[in-house]
Structure 1
Amino acid sequence: MKTFPFPPHWIFLAYLVLTFYCLGAAVMNEFVEYQSWADLSPYLSSADFAAWHLATAQYTVPFLTVPAILLSGVLVLLYWHLPPAVPRAALWLAVACHVVFWLSTVLVQWPLEGALSQGSFSPDLMERLLRSDWVRKGLLLVEAPLAIYMAHRALRPANGAEVGWPVGPSRLPVPSQRQPGSLAGAKPISS
């Protein structure tokens, strides 16, 4: 059987990090980029706004689009490498959030931003972009607590057992069946 180049716990950790990064980046994008467009657009001509939009949009790709694509890819990898304690229903809910996120991005946000890049600015167009982007942020706001729940399930001790020491490098801790208050089997921390 072929082994995957990354240990499963790294895939889950990447999912957690990317989820919260994408949520933070989406909220930052709202308050920095979209609000500045709305605030400055009355002072610019449609052609100037389109040039400004094109110039600034290139910076969002590495900080917003690429991490969102990576997050969706990591989520797909979790289908095969989901920690056993995490219910599949949580994974399917996260996948549903991503499907709606990308549908909204491709069918709503990108066409609206394309119209802005072509000089079709109007306050109504900007308002639709701002409102519709909250669909995507709302989905990330649903996924963030879901990711916390999945992390809680993945990291909590199984069946009330205490978590023992890792069995080797790059391995997750394993549940041990020690008696409460017992230090039997505990390894000292070496400096």
Structure 2
Amino acid sequence: QWYAAVARYSQAPDAKGAQLFTQRVFQTINRGSSRVTADGQRVTLAADRSVTPVKPAKMKLAATFASTAVAPVPECPSGLNCDFRPAAFQKNSADPADYGNYDVTNRPADGVDIRYIVIHDTEGGYEGSLSVFQNPAKSASAHYLIRASDGLVTQLVPTKDTAWQAGNKTLNMHSVGIEHEGFA
């Protein structure tokens, strides 16, 4: 019953790599193994042929950006209730231009200065808005999302990167986007 967890632990970017890793782990459990550590200690895993992996029929085995990436520390003033929950960034097809949800840049070091703050309301709830920004097929993001109930500030995109909040490439390049949970 640990098959999916072992596959995800591999951090393989595709299902085949995750399956190969999982196969090797369970072979090692079945055969056993013994190694000497760098400080001279012997570590032994006794063979256990009774362990039989059960591959789930409907579970994604490949790791995803969100599951394997270390979330950065949010760029917020001290004392402000903040967290970081990354927006999706992945290819959607073989077309190199088909990816979501933001551009990896290095503002302002790459010569693009930040001149504006774009403020929107989400026209929806916090969780629904968060799920949109974490879906690469939506082609939308913001740097920050503010929850109405308690003021939690969730950073989704590092400010050095270009979020897709304004529907205008030039404005996106030169702005930080802030979305407030709620309705106009």
Task: Give the TM-score taking structure 1 as reference length.
Answer: 0.23
Structure with more strand by fraction: 2
Flag the structure with higher helix content: 1
Q: Which has the higher contact order (CA 8 A, sep 6+)?
A: 1
